[in-house]
Structure 1
Amino acid sequence: MLFRFLLFIFLLGNTIISSAQVANISASSRVLYVVDSLPVTDHFFNSEFIPSEVASMHVLQAPAIKTYPTYRKYDSVVFLFSRSYMQRPDSLKHIPALQQLNHIGGRYYRNGQPYTGKAASFFMDGTLRHSGYITDGLMTGEHIFGQWGGTTSFTTYTYDKHNNMQNVSVDSAGRMLGRMRKEDNELMLWEKYFPNGQVMFRTEKKGNKKIHTSYTSSGLMTDSTVYDLRKKKSPYVAPALEAYRSLIRNKEFQKALETYPGLPETWWRMALSETEKLNFSTALVYLDSSIKLEPLDPILFMMRAETRLLQYTCKSDTSYCKADKKFYEFLNTAPKLHISMEDRKKILADLDGCREYRYVHRNHMIIFRYAESAAFRE
């Protein structure tokens, strides 16, 4: 795995750990990584790990590892501590993160008992990830959820007399972001909103049916699917939308544009098709059209930034002309692509429009890191 390779390079230069320990770690198939006292999964390294933020590392191996019951099933445990964690006061370090609590049946437990108290966690760069209070195992009151770049949402949890949960999320300006309702810990309603107040999607359970609808920020419906929870049969899709999907599957883009002129998906699907043909300039024009129709979807800005980077990468080395694993691994080496000043500004502007996607996927993280590198500016 790439993240382990990078980690081992860092370890080799760390005086706390010997090269023999590094060799043992790399040969082991049972390694646990603990970052800022929290055990993490591959997803963390694929999307959130920032090597430059690591302040210190320690490795626990045999025979010492056998004295810790929690870690006996592992060959090695690698403890990483970020700079922000080292500077954090002990009062904050002692507050558990949600990941340190057991989530069972809709409640959070600690040491076998429903937890009551504060919960808090942070990203490696010190940005607040979550902060809120838990009462008798249930998230109560206002919880703050942060993202890299300072984007923050505030979610308020309330319960009826049967402990059925409802929450409402707003941004720092008080605009509705979403809401959710559960009964007997079963999802009954989930809505997410665009910044202009338009519903982005709605999933709702009515009787034995689950209904999912989604929209553009201008109110055009992009999905309407009904699932019958009692029968194992194909879900019902609105005929007009099924006809549209058929056109897209068959790449009948021109007909899709004529029949459904306001849907931004047609344009970004066309952009993907042109990218596969290495027609990057045309793909960027199509993405411009998609964003013009849907200016409130952050993922479209990520797609445009990625396409522009892919264009320069392909120009630099034709071995990396597809947005695949090889491309991202190459980009992760911080190559000098000699991007024009104008296009650098466009890439940075697009990334500014999708900051909340930085930690969603490892590929997004790589793009953001590259845009922050010295190689990008040269």
Structure 2
Amino acid sequence: MSNQLVIIDELKQLFAAETPLIDLRAPVEFEQGSLPESVNIPILNTEERALIGTAYKHQGQEAAIRLGYQIVSGPVKKERVAHWCQFVAENPHAVLYCFRGGRRSQIAQQWLKDTGVERPLLAGGYKAARRFLMRFIEEFGAKNRFILLSGPTGSGKTALINAVKNFYPALDLECLAHHRGSAFGAWRIPQPAQIDFENRLAVALMKLENKLLPQTSLLVEDESRHIGKNCLPDSFFIHLRNSEVIWLDEPRAVRVDNIFNDYILNTVIGHAFQKTGAEGKSMQEQALTVFEYYKKALVAISKKLGGLRTREIMIDLASARLDFLNRNEIQSNKIWIEKLLTYYYDPLYLKSLKRRQVTVIFKGSNSAVIEYLKNGTNDFAANRPGYQHARFSTDVS
């Protein structure tokens, strides 16, 4: 990596090292998608960019360039250069980029150099880096093998993915998407833009690449193509769906407890339940918005769930809300959670797996799966003498 330019061949090192980046594009461009570890300190704001674009369209390139220098001059230029200098002072390895690595990043680089600060820019800018990241996802999927961690809703797949990361390469897609993947699974923080999700996925795979030995498969939770509003890239999703499966098998009572912990106890509902006084009152109001969200999520799946069962669960949800509001009691939420599993999620999940005709290489409880991974699947268990595939069972009770 030179003082002037970061070339395409150096991008993997740059992203794997979480190098801080200064995105010089306008905020409207940044919001549509950005590179990981970047902060938006634009050379032109959205309105200024629009003015220059209009000048370019009607008067040509030279007029647009002149207008740009007029807009970003004097105190405006001084302030923007100061922001870049401050960021570089705090992040000495920072790299600059604009859309194509052209005029905006070259001007910013020169203005910084005029103050005695030399930082490289990305060759080809955002566009080239974005193309590199998408190509990396496709190539990673083609040359590596995966094991899908599957199992009915509430079996604790995401928790297991994170539990084994210290000894087995595993990827948490839900963390990248900020969503649990179900109608009820929104996080309190917003999901990333689709482009940002794909870029995060690429960098996560880069960091895992060195942990994958020739006979090691990457453990990934069995997700649908869509995780909330984010969507897995087509080729990567196809590679995942063609992979062998580990089936996480937990009793329904355990799964109800898992969902209760995730969706009730470990949310603002549970926090309000544990608080008293003015703070508790304030949190209680926030908790009621969570119940309202669950009500809307139930309505969203009502067509597949059916009218009678939707009304039944809606009554149970309303009853749990009143128990919380009037008696500060939350255990009754387990009633609607169990019915939601029985009526909706279990049949849906099993129907999907039967249609896909998955190959299950191991089936067991949380502790059994962890033990299986600790003992090693690197030589592919299916090829070991005496090994038999676990039989797929529709028993999810």
Q: TM-score, normalised by structure 2?
A: 0.23
Select the structure with the greater relative contact order (CA < 8 A; seq sep ≥ 6): 2
Please identify which structure carries the higher helix content.
2
Which structure carries more strand by proportion? 1
